[in-house]
Amino acid sequence: MIIQFVLNEKPCQVDISPNTRLLDLLREHLHLTGAKEGCGIGECGACTVIMDGNAVNSCLVRATQIQGKKIITIEGLRQNGEYDRLQEKFVEHGAVQCGFCTPGMILSAKALLMHTPHPTLEEIHRAMEGNLCRCTGYNKILAAVQDAAGHGEGET
C-alpha cells in the first residue's frame, strides 16, 4: 500500500504493509529512532510525534492513517544545525537523565507551544499528562517548558 505524507517538512512516499504502525514505519523503515517504544499501548508517551500540529502516540496510529498528513519527529526539530529552543532548555535545566522519554516529552511540549505560545502551568500539566518519566520527577521538565514558553517558543 502506497502512502504519501510530509515528514519533517519533506515529501515522503512509502510502500508499506497495512500491518504497520506509524512507530514501526519511523523506526524500522525510515530509521528515525528518536520515537521510542515504551509501553506500546499509549500510556507512556515515549513514542509521541506531532501529526498535523497535534501530539499523537505513534504506537496507536496505523501508518495508513497518515496519508496526506504532516508528521514531525524529534529529528525534525533541529534546523540548519541548531537545536530547537525547547531542546536547549531541556539541557539547561537538566531535564534529561536516561533520555528515553525525552523525545516524547519535547514533542508534547512543542505541540502545546505551537497552539499556545504562552501556556499556564496548568496547561503545561495537561499537555504533558500522557508522558511518563521515571528519572527526573518532572519538576525540571516542567521548568524547561515554562522557560522555553517565556522566551516566545511557538510564536510566528
Partner 1 sequence: MKQRQIASPSSWGELLHYFQEAEPQTKILAGGTDFSVSLRGSTSVTMQFIDITHVKELCFIREEGEYLYIGATTTFTKLEQHPLMRQYGGCLYQAAGRIGSKQIRNMATIGGNIANGAPAADSVVALLALRAEASAYNHNLEHRWIPLSDLLKNFPTDCLLTAIRFPKLHSNACSGFAKVGTRSSVTISQLILSCVFQIGSQNNRIEKAAVALGAVGPHAFLDEETSERLIGELWDQAIVNTLTTCLQETIASAIPGRASLSYKRIAICGLVEDVLSM
Nearest CB to partner 1, comparing residues 88 and 138: 138
Residue 146 engages partner 1 in binding (rule: CB under 8 A):
no
Per DSSP, the residues of 16-74 read --TT-BHHHIIIIIS----S--SSSSSSS-TTEEEETTEEEETTSSBGGGGTT-EEE-G
Site string for partner 1, 21-60 (x = CB under 8 A): x------------------xxxx-x--x--x--xxxx-xx
Joined together, the cell numbers standing for residue 127 give: 499537555
CA–CA dist 39, 58 (Å, integer): 12
User: Which one, of 39, 55, 57, lies nearest residue 47 by Cα?
Assistant: 57
**Smallest distance from partner 1 to CB 117, Å:** 17
**Smallest distance from partner 1 to CB 119, Å:** 12
DSSP code at position 137: -
Of the candidates 17, 33, 79, 120, which one interacts with partner 1 according to CB under 8 A?
17
Residue range at the interface with partner 1 (CB under 8 A); choices 6-14, 63-71, 83-91, 92-100: 63-71
* CA within 13 Å, CB half, 128: 27
Taking the CA atoms of residue 23, residue 29, residue 30 and residue 32 in that order, the dihedral angle to the nearest 10 degrees is: 50
Where in 102-131 is the site for partner 1 (CB under 8 A)? Answer: 108, 111, 126-131
Residue 136 engages partner 1 in binding (rule: CB under 8 A):
no
> Interface with partner 1 by CB under 8 A: which residues?
1, 17-19, 21, 40-43, 45, 48, 51, 54-57, 59-62, 64-65, 67-68, 108, 111, 126-131
